[in-house]
Amino acid sequence: MRTSFVAGNWKMNKTIAETQELLSAMVGKLEEISGVEKVVCPPFIALSKAAEMLKGTSVGLGAQNMHWEEKGAFTGESAPGMVKELCGYVILGHSERRAYFGETDETVNKKLIAAEKAGLTPIVCVGETLAQYEAGETSQVVTSQTRLGLQGVSSEFASRIVVAYEPVWAIGTGKASSAENAQAVHGEMIRPVLTELFGAEIAQTIRILYGGSVTSANAAEFFSQVDIDGALVGGASLKVDDFTAIVKAAAK
């Protein structure tokens, strides 16, 4: 039995003051919902304030990225140990980082190994672009990203990994995947690779989230699928009522 998981990726939205405002309105409502792991991922600059506000609550805090090195001459980057001082979670390999900042399966894997060392729970994103989807390459892309991104970690850590299937064509477009399509990718492409990497028993414990235009209106349909264990939510995670409704739907 996998505990549902919902994370909000705020991307490059919300100043420190706005983070304070949004969390003040949101945390109490999220606290009322049990039976689901809840995480918010504000921008780096606001993590310290968010950590202060979430201390002692059931709402976890995640970073949207990190470097794999422990310290050194990497201007503008944050090390795993620095992230761990504030957060329990980190998003790795988001498609926006792959598309705009040169993230590759190799760097995702280095970061994953660093996350294990730092004691962070990673949310590893995979997903095909629109061109790849239209060319019928979803399986090839998603299985290869999963295989290359997730190799080389201990089985103990593997069961803590959270995978997010985020078809790039569905992110921020308002055009979500159908629940059936997402289920097929989770159940027939991603979970078999997890089985290959870590064995059936551990593969069954790994949460696979769907991400891409999840809303309060479509969330329940995704969560009714056997291999969809929650959601990585962008736009709707910035709206208190929408995000709360999505978390509630996952808890059912």
Which sequence positions are flagged as catalytic?
A: 94, 166
- Residue of 42, 62, 122, 212 interacting with ligand PEP (CB under 6 A): 212
Binding residues among 164-203 for ligand PEP as defined by CB under 6 A: 166, 171-172
Which residues 58-87 are close enough to bind ligand PEP by CB under 6 A?
A: none
Query: Which positions ≥6 away from 42 have C-beta within 8 Å?
Result: 10, 14, 19, 50, 61
Query: Does the protein bind ligand PEP through residue 228 (CB under 6 A)?
Result: no
The token pair at 64 is: 């949207």
Instruction: Tell me: does residue 235 bind ligand PEP (CB under 6 A).
Output: yes
Judged by CB under 6 A, does residue 9 bind ligand PEP?
yes
Contacts of 113 (CB under 8 A, 6+ apart): 68, 152, 153
Size of the site for ligand PEP (CB under 6 A): 14
Q: Judged by CB, which is closer to ligand PEP: 201, or 241?
A: 241
Burial of 12 (0-12, 13-18, 19+ CB in 10 A): exposed
Nearest residue (CB) to ligand PEP, 198 versus 243: 243
**Stretch of 51-59, 184-192, 216-224, 228-236 lying at the interface with ligand PEP (CB under 6 A):** 228-236
- CA–CA distance, 10 with 169 (Å, rounded to integer): 18
Q: Among residues 203 and 250, whose Cβ is nearest to ligand PEP? A: 250
When asked if residue 7 is in the footprint of ligand PEP (CB under 6 A), the reply is no
Report in angstroms how near the CB of residue 211 gets to ligand PEP at its nearest.
Answer: 4
Neighbours of 34 (CB within 10 A): 8
The pair phi, psi for residue 75, each rounded to 5°, is -50, 130
Which residue's Cβ lies closest to ligand PEP? 234
Burial class (CB in 10 A: 0-12, 13-18, 19+), 100: exposed
Site residues, ligand PEP (CB under 6 A): 9, 11, 166, 171-172, 211-214, 232-236
